[in-house]
A and B are shown apart, each in its own frame.
Chain A
């Protein structure tokens, strides 16, 4: 089984996979709880909350901001991410005052949550919500003049900037957004990854995004495991995946066996930080603030004039 895209969904699905001893390759569910279950059938070549929270905390510390508010969706992913970010900030930026507000992911009006920020604007607003709620929140933050503004920066930790419908839904509200990302055309990538990206672009007419590569790796992992096990038996595939040295579209990796959030996870998953500086800007034209394994270039971050 593969293809999961919402932590709450994955948490339900892995129970079934575990019960029937079916190998499960988690494509894009970030909640650490999925790993912490310790199910031998579940493999995680996608991103995870601890990775994002530690990356965000590092960026926030470099930005030297004092007051940070995060809007998190009321899901396993959102609340888990928001809490983790608080824990990491205590270590990396203890002087930062941080709080998070959980919002309904099915909500359509977040103005009451935004209005109090007009009176006392924070230095940074962090998004931990997925579309469509994330888009609505962004538009309402912009409409109320809260963020992005000269006083308050806006930082997306949910990886929504490369969604195909991002600009159509946010327009001006997306300009100056700082983004955590798992793919940028300027980041190093194996030849196979470049090939997948080119084929996707040719077929769809859109720039590839991280989900394309994550999905390709998920399918490829299963194929390689079957080849290695010389069997489609579930137990044989699980054993093959546990010992695999995988060379996929995003790089080489194997799965850690350490208990906790690292369990059967690609731990050193590469990420980038970039800033959107124009409306309708493709990811390839954004300003890279951090490439994988390199220090943050925080001086490149720009703020709106007002």
Chain B
């Protein structure tokens, strides 16, 4: 039953990765920049959930929306105050300042890590569990109630996001801006608002991922660094800007790591994604779900 165990565990880990990677790919899709502070959105969500629950005594299920709100607020503030200068003038064919985005998001990442380190402290803090069930068996598979809830919430969030992007007016506006920012603005779409929505959604997903995993990963100030690196790998494998691509790549990576760790070597667990990344870049550089594009 070990293979089944590994497969299910890999899918669950893949769902965690997907929550992170989807937000990152959405930002890339609309702004064509990589948000290097994305891991810190995750960290802020984990800490908000933990501190609101433990310090203020708020029940964990109510602390979850507070964590989501913290991610939305951070996403909105990042877009409004740090990203907007990036595309100010883009509508009039001015060049995007990509290098600015790299420096500013990297700086934001360092700032947030060090702020939390100074204010809250460097020690890990385990968040309260949403379920009292510390372990349960479902056939041959064993997991904690928290892990199963996290996986369930991740599925609901990803489906909800897909419906929002496909069916809602704001979602369609976001799609239009992602395809052609200038064209969308000529058609009367508020491109700044679309960017704001995407940053807020991305912040909500990352913060909720952090909050849901706070009882599992015991957050410390640098907890977001590693998932962020995984997310970059997933986004490139899935195709930069592709939401379905990120979900498929995240699930595939989760399962690959799970099996590889047992049947190849645990020591190389984090290299499997990088090997896959190299193969994708060699044979399908646009990513699994990406589209070939050429700009003139």
Contacts and interface: CB of A to CB of B under 8 A. Distances in A.
Interface of A: 74, 101-104, 106, 108-109, 111-113, 115-116, 118-119, 131-132, 135-136, 139, 142-145, 164-165, 168-172
Identify whether the interface residues of B are mostly helix, strand, loop, or mixed.
Answer: helix
B6 interface: yes
Task: Give 8 closest A-B pairs by Cβ, nearest first.
Answer: A112-B261, A132-B124, A169-B126, A108-B217, A132-B218, A143-B144, A143-B135, A165-B123
A143 B134 contact: yes
B226 A108 contact: yes
Contacts of B270: 104
A171 B127 CA distance: 12
Identify whether the interface residues of A are mostly helix, strand, loop, or mixed.
Answer: helix
Contacts of B216: 108, 136, 139
A144 B266 contact: no
Contacts, number: 82
A264 B124 CA distance: 34
Interface string B236-276: 00000000000000000000011001100011011000000
A112 B123 contact: no
Given A111-B258, A135-B126, A139-B144, 19 more contacts: A102-B266, A108-B217, A108-B226, A111-B13, A112-B6, A112-B257, A112-B262, A113-B266, A115-B2, A115-B6, A118-B142, A142-B134, A142-B135, A143-B142, A144-B135, A164-B123, A168-B125, A169-B124, A169-B126
Contacts of A102: 266-267
A144 B257 CA distance: 18
A33 B31 CA distance: 50
Contacts of A135: 124, 126, 218
Interface string B208-225: 000001001110100100
B190 interface: no
B21 to A, nearest CB: 16
